[in-house]
Structure 1
Amino acid sequence: MQVLIVEEDRRLSELWTGYLTRAGHAVDSRADAESAIEALSERTYDIIVLDLVLSEGSALAVADYAEVRHPGVRVIFVTNTRFFSDGSIFALSANACAFLPTHMPPEDLAAMVEHHGAAH
């Protein structure tokens, strides 16, 4: 499965990348919206793990671009804030499939990636 991780916390991104790679997935990692959109313009992904709060660019712009460029690609939003904790992210992003805290166990993220990515 082809996975794109968009997370500016390098340690967290490396943890997720390592875990998903060991689980057999091909993983690309980007730290900001611009490089994520560039990756999406060059390659097709089965699923995107996207930090909702990026200091460089808009996560919603990345999700929107992904939906236009690759219809049907699913996005797992992650965050370390309570922003959108009411579930409104699902009304704002047509391709949102999950909303998780960034500090979840990596095996939980892997299970979500496998579940939602397989549907793609």
Structure 2
Amino acid sequence: MKILIIEDEKELRETLVASLQKEQYVVEIAANYGDAIEKIGLYEYDCILLDITLPDGSGLNILSKLKVMDKSENVIIISAKNSLDDKLKGLDLGADDYLTKPFHIAELNARIKAVLRRKNLDGKNTIEIGNLIFDIDERTLFVNQQSVHLNRKEFDVLNYFLVNKNRLITKTALAEYVWGDQIDQADDFDFIYYQIKNLRKKLQESTADISIESVYGVGYKLVEK
């Protein structure tokens, strides 16, 4: 899962990054309005944590731009402002939740998981396809009721494919989702090939009812057998 933190307060931003990385999320940051606009224009995110008050613009304007761009990122507003007007404006512009500072990190983690379940999994914690059960919260995979070990990146890759079953996934989109926007510095996508190769082997050995097919020159597609 890939999260963007839009927050100008350095100490809080660093705390959020450390906490969310422990939860195995890919985390990116924007410390101001300008950086935030650039990132939402270039990349896709599973969740955005958005501060309303930024030094060079309003977080509410970012919500408006997301709406115009028809982007479906899950947005949780995190703001010191606790007025009803701000909350209603944010929710009306498409925010999924609103958390007032100060807050406990455990509560934020719970809110993130809740909005991801609502948007991506119809409120469920798991994805079930054929003989496969994939648990998002526990980060586990079972095939034929037998546990299949996945490393962190293999889990993230499979998660992206399962949420986008039967859709064409480009190598660039997969790389940005799993490795973040630092992927721009990579010389090639060989590392994706090796992750896919290892994941395919584990799925095949466990006789999973899914396969990852290559689309020559473009990317991959996950299909149910």
Q: Quote the residue 2:136 is aligned against.
A: none
TM-score, normalised with respect to structure 2: 0.49
The one-letter code of the counterpart of 2:60 is: L
- Give the Cα separation in 1 of the matches to 2:90 and 2:60: 11
SS at 2:96 equivalent: strand
Q: Quote the residue 2:101 is aligned against.
A: 102
Q: Quote the residue 1:32 is aligned against.
A: 32
- Structure 2, gaps ≥5 residues long: 121-225
Q: Quote the residue 2:131 is aligned against.
A: none
Following TM superposition, the consecutive aligned residue runs of length 4 or more in structure 1 with deviations greater than 4 angstroms are none
Q: Quote the residue 2:88 is aligned against.
A: 88
Q: Kindly tell me: are residues 67 and 46 of structure 1, through their superposed partners in 2, closer, same or farther at Cα, counting changes over 3 Å? A: farther
Report matched runs for 1:13-32 at 5 Å: 13-32=13-32
The one-letter code of the counterpart of 1:4 is: L
Report matched runs for 1:1-120 at 5 Å: 1-84=1-84, 87-90=87-90, 92-93=92-93, 95-118=94-117, 119-120=119-120
Measure how far apart 1:70 and its partner are.
Answer: 4.8
Give yes or no for contact 1:19–1:107 (8 Å, CA) kept in 2: no
- Write the deviation string for residues 78-104 of structure 1: whole angstroms up to 9, x where unpaired: 1112233674235541x2111111210
Task: Answer 1 or 2: higher relative contact order, Cα 8 Å, separation at least 6.
Answer: 1
TM-score, normalised with respect to structure 1: 0.87
Give yes or no for contact 1:33–1:59 (8 Å, CA) kept in 2: yes
The alignment yields a C-alpha RMSD, in angstroms, of: 1.8
Q: Kindly tell me: are residues 66 and 79 of structure 1, through their superposed partners in 2, closer, same or farther at Cα, counting changes over 3 Å? A: same
- Alignment size in residue pairs: 119
SS at 1:116 equivalent: helix
Larger Rg: 2
- Structure 1, gaps ≥5 residues long: none
Q: Kindly, what percent of the aligned residue pairs are identical?
A: 24
Q: Which moved more, 1:56-65 or 1:24-33?
A: 56-65
